[in-house]
Amino acid sequence: MHAPSPTPDETTEPYRWRWLILVAMIVAEVMDLLDASIVNVAGPDLERSLGAGSVGLQWVIGGYALTLGAGLVLGGRLGDRHGRRTVFLIGLAAFTTASLLCALAPNTGTLIAFRLLQGAAGAMLLPQGLGLLRENFSGPELTKVFAVFGPVLGLGGIIGPVLGGFLIEGDFFGLGWRSVFLVNLPVGLAALVVAAKFVPEKAGDRTVRVDLTGAALVVASCALLVLPLNQGQENGWPLWTWLCMAGSAVGFALFALQQRRAAAAGREPLVAPGLLRKPAFTVGLGGIALFFGGLVGTQLVLTLFLQIGRHFTAGEAGLGNLPLAVGTAIGGAVSGAFLADRIGRKVLQIGPLVQLTGAAVLWWELDGLDAASFSIWDIAPGLAVAGVGAGLVIAALFGFVLAAVDDDEIGSASGVLSAVQAVGGSTGVAVFGSVFFARADTGDFTGGFHRALIVQACLLTAFLAITFLLPPSGRPEEEQHGAATGSAPEQRLTA
C-alpha cells in the first residue's frame, strides 16, 4: 500500500507526510555524495586486501562517476515515463544491493564491476529526487525545501573522506575498506521503507519515449574516453588508446547529430535539440568538465600523497581533506550570499585566480617540506586558499551556464550539466591519477603532486578563458532546480 497522489497547489490541502519525503530524498542524495568520495581514502587498504594497483584504484574511484554521469539523463527520462516514485524505489533498491555486492567483492575486477553497477543505479535514483519534491511541495514551502536541500548535500560531500577514514581506520569487526560500502545498507534500507510507505504515487507519462540509441551512444563515448586515460599510463600509451579517444570524439559528434535527427523526425531526444545550438551553453559544458575534472582529480592526488607519500592512516588522510573542504564551504557561502548577485560573472573569474594562488602557495609549501616532521598544517594554508577559490565557482557556475538556455529547456539542460560534471570528475580521476603515479612509482611523491598542480593550473587557465563567453548574470536558484518548468535532474553539489 502507498499513499494516494497529492496535487499540491493553492486550493488543496498539503500532503500530510510530505516532510518525510524530504527526509528520504536527502538520505538518498547523501548516499550518492558519500560514495563518490568515501572510497578516496581506501587505496592502501584495497592494495593490501585485494592487491589493487594504481589503475585498479582509479577504476574503483572513477568508474562510479563514469556510469553515473553516462546514465543521468536517461534516468530522468525513465522517471518521466514510468513515474518518479517507481524509478526512485527501483534505483534505491539497486543502489543498496550494489553497495552490498561491493562490500562482498573478492577481487579488484569484481569490485570495479559492482562500482560500475552502483553508478548506474545512482543514475536511476538521483534524477527523481527534486522532481518528487516539486510534486509534493509548492510556493514558500518549496523554497524552504531548497534551502535545506543544498547545505545538507554540500555537507555530504565534505564528510565523505572523513567518514571513510574513520571507518577504515576503526576496522570495525575486521571489515576494513568493506565498511565504507556496508554503511549504505542500514541507511538505504531505512530510506527504502520510508519512501515505499510515504512517497505518493503519481503515474508517469507513457507517451514519453526513451531514446535508447542516444543513451547507448553516450555510454559508449564515455567509456571510449575514460578507458584509455585509465589504462594508457600503465600500458605505455599504445595505438589503441589514441584510437579510443578519437572514437570517443566521433561518438559524441554522432550523438549530437542523432539527437537533431530524432527531434526533426518528431521523436523525443534525450537532450533538447536547441541546447546544442547555443554556443554559451556548449562552451559552458566544456567549462564544467574542465573545472570539476581538475577539482576532483586534485582532491584524489591530495589523499594519495598523504597516504602513500607521507604514510598517513586512512583517518588522518580523511581529516587532511578538511582544510580544502572548509575553504570550499567558506567560498561557497560568500559566493552564494554576496558576490554572485553583486558582481555577476566576475565571481567565476575571481574563483580560478584564487585557486591558482592556492596552488602556487601549495607548490611552495611542498618544496619546503621536511619529511621527518611533516603534518597537514604544513600545507593547510595553500589547501584552504584553493578551497575558497573552488567554493566561489561551485556556488555560481551552474546558474551562469543555465542562464544561456530558454525556460522550457531547463530540465534537459540541468540533466546534461549534472552528467558532464560526473563524467568530468571521472576523467579527472583518470588523468590526475596517471600523472601522480607516473612519478610516485619512482618514489617521487612530491614531484607527482607538483605535476598534478601543473595540470590543474592548465585546466583552470582554460576554464578562466571560457568564463568570458558565459552570460553576464546567472539564473535564480529556484529556476535552476526547475521549480517552475518541467523535470530536471538535480545539480549535484561537490565540495
Q: Show pLDDT as tens, one digit a residue, over the chain (495 residues).
A: 445 444 454 445 667 778 888 888 888 888 887 887 788 888 888 888 888 888 888 999 999 999 999 998 899 889 888 888 999 999 999 999 999 999 999 999 999 999 999 999 999 988 887 778 877 777 777 777 776 766 676 666 667 888 888 888 888 888 889 999 999 999 999 999 998 988 888 887 787 888 899 999 999 999 999 999 988 888 888 999 999 999 999 999 999 899 989 888 888 888 887 888 888 899 999 999 999 999 999 999 999 999 998 989 888 988 888 899 889 889 988 887 778 778 888 999 999 999 999 999 999 999 877 777 888 899 999 999 999 999 999 888 888 888 888 877 777 888 888 899 999 999 999 999 999 998 988 889 999 999 999 999 999 999 999 999 988 876 666 566 554 444 333 444 443
352 half-sphere exposure, CB direction, 13 A CA radius: 24
CA dihedral 183, 186, 188, 194 (to 10 degrees): -150
Q: Is 48 exposed, middle or buried (0-12, 13-18, 19+ CB in 10 A)?
A: exposed
Q: How far is CA 41 from CA 73, 140, 311, 436, in A?
A: 29, 40, 12, 16
Residue 313 class from Cβ within 10 Å (0-12 exposed, 13-18 middle, 19+ buried)?
middle
Can you tell me the distance from the alpha carbon of 118 to that of 122, in angstroms, rounded to the nearest whole number?
Answer: 6
Position 250 scores a pLDDT of 97
- Under a CB-based contact definition with an 8 Å cutoff, are residues 58 and 433 in contact? yes
Within 10 angstroms of residue 123's Cβ, the number of other Cβ atoms is 27
Q: Which three cell numbers stand for residue 74?
A: 536517461
Counting every residue, how long is the chain? 495
Angle at 279 between CA 273 and CA 284, to 5 degrees: 95
Residue 387 half-sphere exposure, CB side, CA atoms within 13 Å? 23
Provide the pLDDT for residue 494. Answer: 43
- Torsion region of 344: left, alpha or beta (phi above 0 gives left; psi -120 to 50 gives alpha): left
Please report the DSSP string for 11-68 in residue order: TSPPPTTHHHHHHHHHHHHHHHHHHHHGGGGGHHHHHHHH---HHHHHHHHHHHHHHH
Domains, in order of start, for the chain:
10-200 (1.20.1250.20), 271-487 (1.20.1250.20)
Question: Would you say 344 and 392 are in contact if contact means Cβ atoms under 8 Å apart?
Answer: no
3-state SS of 73-106 is HHHHHHHHHHCHHHHHHHHHHHHHHHHHHHHHCC
Give the single-character DSSP code of 199: S
Angle between helices 212-235 and 410-440 (to 10 degrees): 10
Residue with cell 533498491: 93
Q: What is the pLDDT of residue 335?
A: 83
CA–CA separation, 162 and 321 (whole Å): 8
Within 10 A of 457 (CB to CB), how many other CB atoms are there?
17
Q: Which three cell numbers stand for residue 361?
A: 602557495
Question: Which cell numbers hold the place of 228?
Answer: 584509455
Q: Are 404 and 272 in contact (CB under 8 A)?
A: no
